[in-house]
Amino acid sequence: MSWKSEKKKFYDFIIQNNVIGFFDEPITLKSGRKSYWYINWRNIAEDVFLFDILTDFLISYVKHLNLKPDCFYGVPEGATKLGVITQYKWAISDNNLTPGKFILSMGRAKPKEHGDPKDKFFLGIPKGRVIIVEDTTTTGGSLLKTIDNLLDFNVNIIAAIGLTNRNELRDDGRTVEEAIKQKNIQYFAMSDALDLLPNLNPNETIKNHIKNYFKKYSSKEIKF
């Protein structure tokens, strides 16, 4: 099945499972920005049935991009499960699965203070062609930090993939895609807030707050 048809199903999956929502009063994001809308994949990540569907969507998208990874690695800690379970499903689908062929890697959000240096940031260093996965990308701080940690260990990163891109500019005026590209790595987003939000039709007050948010923090305006 083509990603074009899968993408519509993915967007429906996001909307039906309330991944995106709105607030009457703004919340402060990790980036420090105040937002009247949120993208939260936690409910999906806590449900085995839904998470199984989500990881199938991710694998379908990777195949659409014609990428050939050896390892999926989730940004700690928010996307750790996404990386581990996708990696497991990817590996067991290999008809020639043998001991040592695929690593099951996890990252540490807080570096380990003792023991072998190679265990400081990882429970199993990613090997081979690696795809980094993230749930929600805002300014890309956690994703870029993860990329730097992996590059310090000479990990071969072939792509970074976000489930949803909030499509915001960083404080330096660059998009997340541009910041990652400077490290010679491609960034791909499976969904985009600019496309998703208009499908939810919030009230006029929230719409105006969102429009102003994108005027301030994005290179593109949103249209409802």
Reference 193, options 38, 41, 64; nearest CA is 38
Task: Report the pLDDT value the prediction gives residue 133, as an integer from 0 to 100.
Answer: 98
Task: Report the pLDDT value the prediction gives residue 67, as an integer from 0 to 100.
Answer: 96
Structure tokens at 124: 């199993």
- Whether residue 189 contacts residue 159, with contact meaning beta carbons closer than 8 Å, is answered with no
Task: Report the pLDDT value the prediction gives residue 101, as an integer from 0 to 100.
Answer: 94
The CA-based dihedral angle spanning residues 98, 100, 106, 110, taken in that order and rounded to the nearest 10 degrees: 170
Domain 3-217 -> CATH class: alpha beta
Task: Report the pLDDT value the prediction gives residue 115, as an integer from 0 to 100.
Answer: 67
All residues at 6 or more sequence positions from 222 whose CB lies less than 8 Å from its CB, including other chains: 193, 194, 197, 198, 210, 211, 214
Interval 126-172: pLDDT, tens:
999 999 999 999 999 999 999 999 999 999 999 999 999 999 999 99
Task: Report the pLDDT value the prediction gives residue 2, as an integer from 0 to 100.
Answer: 74
Task: Report the pLDDT value the prediction gives residue 210, as an integer from 0 to 100.
Answer: 95
Report the predicted TM-score, pTM, of the whole model to 2 decimal places.
0.92
- For residue 223, CA distances in Å to 198, 201, 207 come to 7, 11, 9
Taking the chain (224 residues) in runs of 10, the rounded mean pLDDT of each run is 85 95 90 91 95 97 96 93 97 94 88 72 90 95 93 95 95 94 96 94 92 92 90
